[in-house]
Structure 1
Amino acid sequence: MELRQLEYFVAVAEEANFTRAAARVHISQSGVSAQIRSLERELGAELIDRSGGTATLTTAGEAALIQARATLAAAGAVRQSVDDVSGLLRGRVRVGMVTACTVPQLFDALARFHAAHPGVELALQEDNSDRLVAAVRAGDLDLALVGVAARAPDGLESMVVIDEPIVAAVPPEHPLAAHEKATLAQVCAHPIISLPHGTGIRAVFDRDCAGVGLSPSIMLQASAPDAVADLAARGVGVAILSASMIETYRDRLTAVELTDSTTSALLALVWTPNPSAAPAKLVSMAESAFGVASP
């Protein structure tokens, strides 16, 4: 009897399907079937009823499942004990990042973590900030770099890495470019190009506009800040971005301060409280890379 056979058996029992179980353990369906057949021959009993549309446990299978889970947990504990002594980390860390947000410090932390802990699988997922925060809350992600308005999400540990206002960005020939400052009403008199709902910048803009009684008409939306900036530089409309987002477009865009924008746009790393060893180590490396300590 081998641990992998028990792992495959548990996967089939929990998924109630050989195909899904095979995808979960990253081998072929035929490989899963062969290993479970071998386990059944060794135990002298059928564990899985294959006669229906789903893979269901036999009476023997139900009894075996309890012990199989306990055996796998015990084996995992043995490995963790040895890893703790030797300083090794294993497992998987699931990281989220706001779509099209290139953040060298996060990439530096991921590279350092991978070099220091090659036994840990890293998974990177891009999405808008609202969905990333929800995924961290649900336990589907271990940590995520997100854009938020005013403050980090409640109920999660967080480290703010950027705190800045939003600005309007226009090409030099635009009427607003002649002024260093403008009100939201003056900006909203022009076509607006913005990031979509679910992003921190958009949340800030919508909140500030609502605060002064404005309902801005968004002409175009783009998920990538570079796309928003590039469209504005081509004269399509006024871009709403944070100051740092237009740095590389300073030769084509002029930043106009919004005098009645009062909400900060934050870029923050968020993670679940009391993270396990591997995510906690990555958070520590991210703190070092960003040069910011969590509260």
Structure 2
Amino acid sequence: MEIRQLTYFSAVARHGSFTKAAQELHVTQPTLSKMVRLLEEELGATLFDRSSKPIALTDAGETILRSSQGILSSIDTMAAELDDVMQARKGTLRLGIPPMIGVHVFPSLIERFHSRYPQIRLQLVERGGKRIEEEVDSGELDVGLVILPMAQEDKFHLLPCMDETLHLIAPRDHWAAGRESVELGELEREPFLLFRDEFTLHHLILDHCRQAGFEPQVAFESSQWDFMVQLVRARFGITLLPGGMRRSLDPERFLVLPVVRPTMTWSLNMIWKKDKYLSFAAREWIAFMRQEWPAGTQA
């Protein structure tokens, strides 16, 4: 049984005429009659009483019509939904983001994308950069936002999104208050609050401290930047975060200064795997990001 046979049969049943159905379907009447006859032979039942004018459905024809209407309706729905997906009006995008980006700059991007594509479901997963890299590689995530450097950068397409310098976050009455900047080496005796090992920023800070000639005293590691900031407020230590985070901090309670010599850059990039099929939702997200978040934005 073919879908075309059911379509032809339904048209004849709707019009009560082979002639009118053939005109609607843009086929010859003999072709239409042959297709319906083949369907009857396949089913082993007569579907139309051809002796009546207009022709009428038999009991078997009534049964097949009810079933065929459901089948054809499902096919129409499937075609419409496929068209929606092809036009990126539906689908699911699995996106990995680092914790800081959620409060930092990302909500406005999500709002604009959702306004443009309300039927696309965004599945946001908050991870450290190393986990995001692994899950984009394995296919668990479609795309991800990570901090460079990456372990296996050659596996991925990269879209530069934002570069920021790291800043010292300390209590407002810290000894560096009144300064315009602080050198990394001056923080040698400070207790550091760092992200955990799965976060690229953890390794970025450790590497720069070692290059500056000291091993930092790590007082605490966390996966939550806001908890680290609260520990700074409680004078448990200092931390280093992208300068844009200062917009989220109360200047009456926190000192925020750029760290120099060396300057440390927080380089945010979007990644997706090379030589891997991308859903239409993922393709539209990548195109959206290229348009809405020009490469190398300075914050």
TM range (shorter): 0.5 to 0.7
Quick one: distance in 2 between partners of 1:204 and 1:149? 8
Could you list the per-position Cα deviations for residues 61-113 of structure 1 after superposition, in whole angstroms to 9, with x for gaps in the alignment? xxxxxxxxxxxxxx9xx859962897355443211111353257543444444
Residue 266 in structure 1 maps to residue 299 in structure 2: no
Structure 2 counterparts to residues 1-295 of structure 1, below 5 A? 79=79, 83=83, 87-99=87-99, 101-103=101-103, 106-149=106-149, 153-249=153-249, 250-273=251-274, 275-292=278-295
- 8 A Cα contact 1:112 1:285, kept in partner: no
1:83/1:106 CA distance change after superposition, 3 Å: farther
- 8 A Cα contact 2:181 2:258, kept in partner: yes
- 8 A Cα contact 2:97 2:145, kept in partner: yes
RMSD: 3.3
Structure 2 runs not aligned, ≥5 long: 2-74
Structure 2 counterpart of 1:259, one-letter code: V
Q: Offset of 1:230 from its aligned partner?
A: 2.6
Please, which moves more after superposition, 252-261 or 107-116? 107-116
1:114/1:242 CA distance change after superposition, 3 Å: closer
1:291/1:254 CA distance change after superposition, 3 Å: same
Q: TM-score, with normalisation over the residues of structure 1?
A: 0.62
- 8 A Cα contact 1:146 1:268, kept in partner: yes
SS of 2:161's partner is strand
Report the number of matched residues: 219
Structure 2 counterpart of 1:193, one-letter code: L
Quick one: distance in 1 between partners of 2:292 and 2:152? 19
1:180/1:239 CA distance change after superposition, 3 Å: same
Aligned-pair identity (%): 21
Please, which moves more after superposition, 135-144 or 164-173? 164-173
Structure 1 runs not aligned, ≥5 long: 2-74
1:130/1:289 CA distance change after superposition, 3 Å: same
Greater Rg over alpha carbons, structure: 2
Q: TM-score, with normalisation over the residues of structure 2?
A: 0.62
Quick one: distance in 1 between partners of 2:86 and 2:280? 14
Quick one: distance in 2 between partners of 1:143 and 1:154? 15
